[in-house]
């Protein structure tokens, strides 16, 4: 039985915890949830599992920890999670645009004999991209389109009147490393795609605010010795956090379930 720790109790953290309690995550049980201030959660149904002391959190001995609290949480807790003997599932994979952090986490995982797991989350095709990267790859690109409500609280809100947009607005065009750092809550997909494929400085990214859509959309194009892939995804935004979609928590739950399953699809 895997014991699951969760860092962060936002939309994704709550959905993952609910799935564990509903037995959708296979042979898994909730061990602990780490938040910044436990007093905010005293009346929450998950209160018995909630801690704001990292040492107390680690003392519950989770075997898998899900990070769902943002880039800073990866920096603060990632190494300790691995050193304390748990595999680390990273949702805020854009934090790994920091090469030093990525190297330190890999070293910590190797020293502890644990693994860092990056789920597909909001995009698909990572299995094919990762397989294709074993041979020469010519190009990998990502175009992300989200409705205006998904960009409130980001740097884009300071650039354009989101409520007044009547046509698509290209907010960014460049490389994945920069995109992942500019939009830490909204373009983590670019980092995951880059790590699976040709790297963050070679993966091209375009970010578009589109008032004509209601779903978060991603288009992936990649080509190489394996052939060519063009993949379009339309994700339903979460009602409580339009920056993310329901599929993100579903992907994390699948990653947890796969750890105890005798039959695994999509590696």
Q: Which positions are annotated as active-site residues?
A: 218
Of 204, 188, 97, nearest to 141 (Cα)? 204
Cβ of 250: how many Cβ atoms within 10 Å? 17
Contacts 24+ apart (CB under 8 A), 32-35: 32/5, 32/6, 32/56, 32/57, 32/60, 32/62, 33/5, 33/6, 33/7, 33/8, 33/9, 33/57, 34/5, 34/6, 34/7, 34/8, 34/69, 34/77, 35/8, 35/9
What is the rounded end-to-end Cα distance, in angstroms, of the chain?
Answer: 21
Residue 45 sits at φ, ψ, to 5 deg, of -55, -25
- Distance separating alpha carbons of residues 183 and 107, to the nearest angstrom: 27
- Looking at the DSSP bridge assignments, the partners of residue 218 are 144, 233
């Amino acid at each position: 039985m895997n014991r699951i720790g969760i860092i962060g109790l936002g939309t994704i953290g709550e959905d993952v915890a609910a799935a564990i309690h509903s037995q959708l995550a296979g042979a898994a049980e909730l061990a602990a949830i780490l938040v910044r201030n436990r007093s905010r959660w005293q009346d929450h149904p998950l209160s018995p599992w909630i801690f704001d002391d990292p040492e107390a959190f680690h003392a519950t001995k989770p075997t898998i920890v899900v990070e769902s609290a943002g880039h800073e949480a990866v920096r603060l807790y990632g190494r300790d999670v691995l050193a304390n003997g748990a595999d680390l599932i990273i949702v805020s994979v854009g934090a790994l645009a920091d090469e030093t952090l990525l190297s330190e986490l890999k070293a910590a995982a190797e020293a502890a004999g644990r693994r860092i797991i990056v789920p597909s989350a909001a995009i698909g095709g990572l299995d094919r991209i990762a397989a294709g990267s074993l041979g020469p790859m010519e190009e990998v690109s990502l175009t992300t389109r989200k409705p205006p409500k998904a960009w409130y609280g980001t740097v884009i809100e300071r650039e354009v009147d989101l409520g007044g947009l009547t046509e698509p607005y290209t907010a960014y065009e460049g490389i994945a490393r920069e995109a992942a750092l500019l939009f830490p809550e909204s373009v983590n997909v670019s980092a995951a795609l880059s790590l699976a494929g040709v790297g963050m400085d070679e993966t091209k990214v375009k970010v578009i605010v589109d008032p004509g859509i209601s779903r978060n959309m991603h288009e992936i194009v990649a080509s190489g010795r394996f052939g060519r892939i063009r993949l379009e995804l339309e994700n339903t935004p979460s009602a409580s956090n339009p920056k993310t979609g329901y599929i993100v928590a579903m992907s994390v739950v699948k990653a947890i379930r796969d750890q105890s399953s005798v039959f695994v699809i999509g590696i």
